[in-house]
Amino acid sequence: MNASSLAILGAQPAFDSPVPIGQLYFPSWQRYESAFRDIFERQYYTNQGPLAQRLEERVQEFLGVRHGICVSNATIGLIMMPDALGLSGKVILPSFSFAASAQSLSWAGLQPVFCDIDPDTHQIAADRIGTLIDENVSAIMGVNLWGGACDLKALAEVAEENGIQLYFDSAHGFGCAVDGISLGNFGRAEVFSFHATKILNATEGGCICTNDDELAARLRNIRSSYGAGRFVEVVKTANGRMSEAQAAIALMSLDDFPENRENNEALYRLYAARLKDIPGLCLVEPSGVSRSNYQYVVCTVDEREFGLDRDLLIETLKAENVIARRYFYPGLHRCIPYATDFSQYLDRLPDTDRLCASCIQFPIGALVSADGFERICNILVSAHRLSARIRSRHAE
């Protein structure tokens, strides 16, 4: 591709079919067939079947955690947390997150207290949490983003000093470690996502990890049906069960985790080497971890230096069949119902607002080849070089 040939300016797209963001790992057909033949022969689809049980054991072993409670997706896992922890009143969380983080509080009738983020790491600003705590705050929900982690030590200190609980939305964090300890072992509990776009993929799925036996028993009873283990009285129950089909795929994904992580890291480093020479694109390093899963390539776009704003860059890439995304947009404090019910946050989260306007996620994962990566970077170089022409074409 030469510099005058961008699809947004009328050339042929660089890719014939869409290149998505996300891990999107597909094991070989033979492995699928064999795993699904076993399910067929056992004639057992769901309800803490042998594959779901094996997955829980393998996750526990892999993360070095006492309990891995697999669920049908991370959203339901997060929804189960407030009742399992006995939360009330308000919970502090970052506004820079996926809808599920705040929605899980809404399902429990809890009030979110939105905290700003650290603009360099994109994680919750631990030093600003103290000012948000009042007598109605019962917990902090840290969100471990982008294959990195919040300042876990600072969060644990502020939770302890104020006698409130701490748990994590670690949807992005499977296989990451802090000072050699795997995520899954921090706070009262952590919730991972095993969605198809994540490094551990059950198509849909998730897992709640905790080292607390009592909490684990409550969570298993809330998830309901077989697999509850010890009976514990709980007020609400749900159907958060993971099916055998989901567990079969997650087990294959776990087998191939080291290879997928390595592939991600190699791609991430290639992006880092190329992006540093493109003015206005600043790659975010996974923060606060001793090991990352590198499952995201996240940049901020400086419009003045790059020549295009983030949204016009997304359009430019889309014309080439490259599906970049603007996670997370808008910030949760600007989404319904929070923007209307808690309008006090609208002018209180300047770093979140800036990031929501400039953050972009590029493709990484199993479907991105070395050649594909080269083509994506060449598009970015050309988009910068031809930014004036793109802007004037866009304005027509």
Q: Is 207 in the site for ligand T4K (CB under 6 A)?
A: no
Nearer to ligand T4K, 94 or 280 (CB): 94
Q: Which stretch binds ligand T4K (CB under 6 A): 2-10, 70-78, 253-261, 375-383?
A: 70-78
Residue 173 lies near ligand T4K (rule: CB under 6 A): no
**Going residue by residue from 302 to 341, which x/- string records binding to ligand T4K, judged by CB under 6 A?**
---------------------x---x--------------
Least gap, CB of 276 to ligand T4K (angstroms): 26
Judged by CB under 6 A, which of 8, 21, 70, 368 binds ligand T4K?
21
Angstrom distance (rounded) from CA 51 to CA 247 = 6
Residue 188 beta carbon to ligand T4K: minimum distance, rounded to whole angstroms: 17
Kindly give, in sequence order, each residue whose CB lies less than 8 Å from that of residue 147, ignoring residues fewer than 6 positions away: 172, 173, 176, 286, 289, 292, 293, 294, 295, 296
Is residue 74 part of the contact set for ligand T4K (CB under 6 A)?
yes
* Shortest distance (Å) from residue 4 CB to ligand T4K: 28
The reply to whether 253 sits near ligand T4K by the rule CB under 6 A is: no
Find the binder of ligand T4K among 23, 75, 165, 352 (CB under 6 A).
75
Contact stretch for ligand T4K (CB under 6 A) within 195-203, 224-232, 310-318, 336-344: 195-203
Q: Is 169 in the site for ligand T4K (CB under 6 A)?
A: yes
Q: Which is nearer to ligand T4K, 122 or 261 (CB)?
A: 122
Nearer to ligand T4K, 26 or 44 (CB): 26
Nearest approach, Cβ of 72 to ligand T4K (angstroms)?
A: 9
CB 201, CB 367: distance < 8 Å = no
Query: Over the range 18-32, which residues count as b (16 or more CB within 10 Å of their CB) and which as e?
Result: ebbbbbebebeeebe
The verdict on 193 binding ligand T4K (CB under 6 A) reads: yes
Q: Which of 143, 275, 289, 359 binds ligand T4K (CB under 6 A)?
A: 143
Output 229 or 330, the one with its CB closest to ligand T4K.
330
- Footprint of ligand T4K (CB under 6 A): 20-22, 24, 73-75, 97-98, 100-101, 143, 169, 171-172, 193, 195-197, 206, 323, 327
